[in-house]
Structure 1
Amino acid sequence: MQEQNLFFNILTFDWPNQPVTFYFHEEEQDKFPRIHRSLFPKQIANIFPQVATTPAKEFISCAFTGEAEGFTPLDIDFKTDNPDLIKRFYNKQIGYYFRKVREKIVKVGFIKENQIWLPAPKESNAQYSVYDKYTLKVQLCTVSGFPEIHLSYDGKSRVSKKSIAVLIQDIAPENFNWVLYENQLWKYDTLDKKEDIDYKKAYPVLGRRLKTAMGFPAEAPPRHNRYTEYLRNIEKFYKDNLDTDAFRELIPLHTTGFLPVNTTRLNYTSPDSNKLAFGTGQDIVPFNGVKTYGPFKKAPYNKVHLFFIVHRDDIETAKRLKTYFQTGLKFFKGLFDFSKVLFHTSEGFSIAFTDKENPIAEIEQKLSQRTIDPDVKYIAIYITPYNKYEADLQKREIYYKVKELLLKRRITSQCIEANKVMEQGENYVYSLPNIAVAILAKLDGIPWRLNTPIRNELIVGVGAFKHIATDVQYIGSAFSFNNTGGFNRFEYFMKHEVDVLAGSISRAIRDYATVNNSPDRLIIHFYKTMNEKELEPIERALADLGLDIPVFVVTINKTESEDIVLFDRNWPELMPMSGTYVHIGENRYLLCNNTRYSAAGFNKNDGYPFPIKLKIDCTDKTQLTETKVVKELIDQVYQFSRMYWKSVRQQNLPVTIKYPEMVAQIAPHFDGDEIPQYGKDNLWFL
């Protein structure tokens, strides 16, 4: 393996040489910060004995290092006292420095971290001003023996140059979220608490809802190398704002710059963990494996009827696609040659609709006129006139309604954008393998599986998607009956339906146990930290089944922004080797999950995904001390990222999180928020 020179986006600084005097008042005082009981200093009883022994006393005031009348001094040893109090102090110092001394826009986060907004005038235009965002978050001895500043680049925000007073004439107020007023960021709903607001000088931040309401097109996710951009930005911010005498007077930063990774924190996934099994061989690249060795398992149907649903203006597109599927294009030799899908198209069965704006009724009527043979497996190719980033939400909604309409008839479907087919010409060949793999998976074939010994365990994935229009979060779940990556069933719920989720997991365990022995362990891949309220009904369900097995919860978070990132200075593109993972404290790990297996073999078209952050917990805490167990769980997350069958390109999120997220994104658009029964045990959403 190529030697790496890894470092974090973290800066370290020195502890104070001696205790620092803070000042406290046992009652909340106007104009002074209040602190919650969780932030009280360990020696609070020395100055306020009654406060220390009164649990109902939730808040006191703290002037930190500023003397104030009526406040009581207390010496604080930063190394040994309440770490949350120490972090609050440093975050407050940073906020004061940038807001008052540097006169910058500062947005304070949930844990009081500071996000600094710096204008980017070269990227601004007549419609909006652009700002680069940087977050400084203080943490104590997380990956070093020192207090640390975690510096992240959070991308860009745009602020409308039209004021609230102008926009509200055409834009509903619920579309406003953050507002820039007098060089400060305010929540729109709290702005009216400020006296004498001049809404002609209040400019809204362009969030997703507001951009949609104003007709801005949705943006495609970036495919460029964000590592180089990210490092360039944080290095410039460090040089201009932190690597200065003025900042070091406040916080004594070390002059060594960004923190190298200590080798004792570094490890790698197993050498074979990226190997996949195909029809007659193994490979680590899905495209090469399917092309060379064929799919792991062909579709179990020899009567597959493929038909098109297309607007009449795009009939030529359908004809071109049919040719590609039958005889191929360049290196793609057709559906059967690539993915072994045996299919037939019947003259007159496809549907050409005329109403582009509202085609559902017309499609439904024509479907009802078709004779559906129960012995035939149908798959519809829906050629949409609109792309996935269409600004008009009603036009985007058509895609979901077509999906639902077909699922109710037990027909799976593949959606293809008409414009891409015609505009890309022969370059469309690069999309055809992705379509072929997705079609195979939707027809119950297995493009590839993990090349790993089967273990007696049940794996559950829970992902989430928040709908901007309704502000409701939905969660989806996916059940795998073993560790090879095959999925058995999908469900979805609203976020608050914890007991329903637990019941669903309980049924999956019962189903597993009736076919196999009881599982040795239950592994849950969760999209956020799972709390006791969410875990308790699952444990209760296991007890009701008489299963005394460990439950592992692996929290899996993207680190797209506002979080810790890893860089390799020995590689020009900076992205660390795939399979590298680093322990970042408290059973948390940073996993580099990409296709850089070697410097020579990397394909930049695969993208430059940032690491994912893992947190591992278990109902049996002794399991967390077993290095072998932890490594197995990290290997498994890494492996499940290679089971994405919507594309021959690997994703950096495991499908245990990605698939449920996709289900949760689509299903709320269906009538009654219900997935038709047919859609609960196949991969219709790919």
Structure 2
Amino acid sequence: MSEKLHFNILSFDWPEIKPIFYFTVEETENSHPIHKSKWSPKILEAFPEVNSSDKEFIYTTYTQQVDGAIGLEIKMFKKELQIYKQYLKFKIRNHFKEKGFIVVKNFIGDVQIWLKEKKEIHPLYNRYYKFSLKIQFAQVSEHPELIVSFDGMAKVMNIPLSEIEDTTLVKRTVYNNSVFNYQKLNDPDKQDFYNTIEFEKAFPLLRRDLAKAYNIPEPTPERSNRYTNYLKNSTTFANAYLLTEEFKAIIPIYGKKFIEVPKKLINHIDPQKGLLEYANKNKGLIPKRELGKFKPYRRPENPNIKFFFIYHESHQPQIKTLYKYLTKGTGEGTFYQSLESYINIKAKLSNDHFIKYTDVHNPIPEIIAQLEQKEFDKDSIRYAAFYISPFDKFTPNKEDKLVYVKVKELLLKEGIISQVIDYNKMQIDINKPKSYQYTLHNISLAIHAKLGGVPWKLAVTEKKELVIGVGAFTFQDANRRYIASAFSFQNNGLFNGFDYFSESNSKALAGSICNKIRTFSSQIEPEKVVIHFYKDMSEKEIAPIKKGMKLLGLNVPLYILNINKTEAQDIIAYDSNWSNLMPKSGTYIRIGFNKFLLFNNARYKNDYKYPAAEGYPFPIKIGISSPDEDAFEDANIITVLLTQVYQFSRLYWKSLRQQNVPVTIKYPEMVAQIAPLFQGTIHKDSKDKLWFL
């Protein structure tokens, strides 16, 4: 059966009569600010005095006429269209506030409505369904469009702020159907609001730290089909609150269901472009099924490999079981035969290098002391350490959480790669070999890549090219962002190396990118340079790269792909002709000028049973740009660039599960997550290795 794709979009009509909005230079009662970026020539003509002033805003009461205001007819075009959009958002916000719902701005400034769940899930909190409404104009149709997205659930505690003993655990808080950040009330502009808050009527959102303080268990990760859940909730919300005469008086929606994706916006990447090559030229699409059978594409260079364990004294029984699995497999009825067998290497246990510590919270001094006493033959042997961590990544104590980082850095300085294993998870699962074998598959895969092996590469590539990935990670505690830059790959997916910098150091970032281009172009003349960037790249960031290319005499186009690592949730598409709704892998849809949704998943055909364990990932959103005027003269370049993203999503060597984000973004983010926590810098010898997996 052929696909039938729909957006989560309701179309509505253009206004029959152009509205008249009333503007003033100064703020008046019930007026709304209009930023200067929205001032059209008509507005500047009506208010010539703002041309020569440093004013950031003028004000409007929209359709409400007030004394001294100038009325202007609003055209559905460019800047005035943005004012009309602001007006519609204001009307939507008021409509739902009047109904008593919690109404907030989401992280991109759209209206988000929270609906309380009717049934009680837990005595300490209530759950709320979150829905966002985003307005756009003629992006995928000829009409204004209302994107209806389901943003998941919020948990709001039943315990008021007045009864919370440790308020440092509180951040976002619900009060009078609005949400504020309790930790950011020291802003002078918010003092008046802060003084009006009645703490016994303010209720904090449930965060992980609060949940631990009140012994509320961590929810198990959602493994069900996200598409069916998303569509069910979005459709229910639309039917109940949007497809009503009352709401249509604000937004004149036509039709009774989400719009179909026009065929002209849809294209598909050939699944064979995602073909992977293993050892001895064996090829396939699904590593989970094929790696153990075909074996990795290339072994680590050093054939002499030894591994050892670093563990707390209480971990001994589980270590014995883990060692048995790694050396002899998980037994009858399972697929994991051993570390050596699965990834096709010779690796022996090094009993002499085992490290056992006694202090759970501060093992570093013991580990250092024991490392100093042991002899390592680093010239002949490559060592891998399995660090059994007593703390998981959700541990609330920051010092405990940093122990594994310190261990990883300590071993990295010694030239030893490490694999961290969560003890708490291990002790639950290790006696269930039929399920634990899949964890061992992933561990073995990551170890192979960290040792310098190549588990698989792309089988189908065009001419040799350079692809550079730049990703980022924000540390929530200190609100610091670091970027891992210049992760360079050949276009067959083989990794070259990386650098990393703080986000503010755009000059060093550009220099690093230029160095990668120089190194590559000295070996082969590229047809183009492609950068996968985690956000829109600014002119300030692009200019030094183009200058560097010019100095090299490299007159080829530069393409920049803004790849949002967060799956698209505001706008998605679903296949109503397939029961599980997820569009086939490789489907891409144009959603604006050089903007696309790309579906990366494990659904390749209609006629086979989809393995639910592969998950149902949402699409990623990609914007494509270039500083070169003639970069898009060849219409096929879009397909070529999106195919490259599709291919690079198949090169993730930390897990056998299909990823939807390419490693050009994912790997830099992983380095940015851990490297800034190191006490020292990353040695240059470690910048061409995947130790961070």
Which interval holds the TM-score relative to the shorter structure?
over 0.9
Q: What SS does structure 1 have at the residue aligned with 2:535?
A: coil
- Compute the TM-score of the two structures, normalised by the length of structure 1: 0.94
- Match of 1:120? 117
- Give the stretch that moved more between structures: 265-274 or 387-396: 387-396
Separation (CA, whole Å) in 2 of partners of 1:110 and 1:271: 35
Measured after TM superposition, the shift of residue 655 of structure 1 is 0.4
Q: Does 2:305 match 1:304?
A: yes
1:517-532 → structure 2 map (5 Å cutoff): 517-532=524-539
Q: Does 2:562 match 1:555?
A: yes
- Match of 1:177? 171
Q: What SS does structure 1 have at the residue aligned with 2:498?
A: strand
Separation (CA, whole Å) in 1 of partners of 2:55 and 2:585: 50
- Match of 1:377? 382
- Match of 2:240? 240
Q: What SS does structure 2 have at the residue aligned with 1:61?
A: strand
Separation (CA, whole Å) in 2 of partners of 1:642 and 1:548: 30
Aligned residue type for 2:401? R
- Match of 2:318? 317
Measured after TM superposition, the shift of residue 372 of structure 1 is 1.0
Whether the aligned pair in 2 keeps the contact of 1:455 and 1:482 (CA below 8 Å) is no
Separation (CA, whole Å) in 2 of partners of 1:217 and 1:404: 32
Aligned residue type for 1:469? D
Whether the aligned pair in 1 keeps the contact of 2:312 and 2:356 (CA below 8 Å) is yes
- Match of 2:370? 366
1:259-298 → structure 2 map (5 Å cutoff): 259-280=259-280, 281-298=282-299
- Give the stretch that moved more between structures: 291-300 or 145-154: 291-300
Separation (CA, whole Å) in 2 of partners of 1:258 and 1:559: 23
Which of 402, 407, 413 does residue 397 from structure 1 map onto?
402
Q: Does 2:407 match 1:411?
A: no
Separation (CA, whole Å) in 1 of partners of 2:414 and 2:107: 47
Separation (CA, whole Å) in 2 of partners of 1:420 and 1:498: 40
Q: Does 2:64 match 1:66?
A: yes
- Match of 2:485? 477
- 1:679–1:193 distance in 2 versus 1, CA, 3 Å: farther
- Deviation track 1:268-293 (CA, whole Å, cap 9, x = no partner) reads 01231110011121000113332222
Q: What SS does structure 1 have at the residue aligned with 2:86?
A: helix
Aligned residue type for 2:357? F
Aligned residue type for 1:198? E
Q: What SS does structure 2 have at the residue aligned with 1:144?
A: coil
- Match of 1:386? 391
Measured after TM superposition, the shift of residue 254 of structure 1 is 0.9
- Match of 2:613? 605
Aligned residue type for 1:113? D
- Give the stretch that moved more between structures: 367-376 or 411-420: 411-420
Separation (CA, whole Å) in 1 of partners of 2:53 and 2:494: 50
- 1:622–1:652 distance in 2 versus 1, CA, 3 Å: same
Separation (CA, whole Å) in 2 of partners of 1:219 and 1:533: 43
- Match of 1:28? 27
Q: Does 2:181 match 1:187?
A: yes
- Deviation track 1:613-638 (CA, whole Å, cap 9, x = no partner) reads 00001121322342211101000000
Whether the aligned pair in 2 keeps the contact of 1:524 and 1:553 (CA below 8 Å) is yes
- 1:561–1:240 distance in 2 versus 1, CA, 3 Å: farther
- Give the stretch that moved more between structures: 409-418 or 257-266: 409-418
Aligned residue type for 1:335? L
Aligned-pair identity in percent equals 39
**Unaligned stretches of 5+ in structure 1?**
none
Measured after TM superposition, the shift of residue 248 of structure 1 is 0.8
- 1:347–1:46 distance in 2 versus 1, CA, 3 Å: closer
Q: What SS does structure 2 have at the residue aligned with 1:154?
A: strand
- Deviation track 1:74-121 (CA, whole Å, cap 9, x = no partner) reads 122336762211211111111111112x12111134664211111124
Separation (CA, whole Å) in 1 of partners of 2:393 and 2:79: 52
Aligned residue type for 2:86? R
Whether the aligned pair in 2 keeps the contact of 1:478 and 1:488 (CA below 8 Å) is no
- Deviation track 1:295-352 (CA, whole Å, cap 9, x = no partner) reads 1111222211111112122222222222222221232111222211211123332112
Measured after TM superposition, the shift of residue 216 of structure 1 is 6.1
Which of 567, 588, 600 does residue 574 from structure 2 map onto?
567
- Match of 2:428? 423
Separation (CA, whole Å) in 1 of partners of 2:77 and 2:27: 27
Which of 123, 145, 150 does residue 147 from structure 2 map onto?
150
Measured after TM superposition, the shift of residue 533 of structure 1 is 2.0
Measured after TM superposition, the shift of residue 218 of structure 1 is 6.0
- Give the stretch that moved more between structures: 276-285 or 177-186: 177-186
- Match of 1:464? 472
- Compute the TM-score of the two structures, normalised by the length of structure 2: 0.93
- Match of 1:349? 353
- Give the stretch that moved more between structures: 209-218 or 236-245: 209-218
Separation (CA, whole Å) in 1 of partners of 2:79 and 2:191: 39
Measured after TM superposition, the shift of residue 590 of structure 1 is 0.3
Separation (CA, whole Å) in 2 of partners of 1:41 and 1:124: 51
Separation (CA, whole Å) in 2 of partners of 1:181 and 1:421: 42
- Match of 1:332? 336
- Match of 1:495? 503
Separation (CA, whole Å) in 2 of partners of 1:80 and 1:384: 56
Whether the aligned pair in 1 keeps the contact of 2:486 and 2:509 (CA below 8 Å) is no
Whether the aligned pair in 1 keeps the contact of 2:275 and 2:283 (CA below 8 Å) is yes
- Match of 2:90? 92
Measured after TM superposition, the shift of residue 526 of structure 1 is 0.9
Measured after TM superposition, the shift of residue 540 of structure 1 is 2.7
- Match of 1:160? 157
Which of 441, 446, 449 does residue 449 from structure 2 map onto?
441
Measured after TM superposition, the shift of residue 43 of structure 1 is 2.3
Whether the aligned pair in 1 keeps the contact of 2:12 and 2:253 (CA below 8 Å) is yes
**Unaligned stretches of 5+ in structure 2?**
none
Aligned residue type for 2:82? D
Aligned residue type for 1:65? T
- 1:219–1:328 distance in 2 versus 1, CA, 3 Å: same
Aligned residue type for 1:529? D
Separation (CA, whole Å) in 1 of partners of 2:294 and 2:530: 31
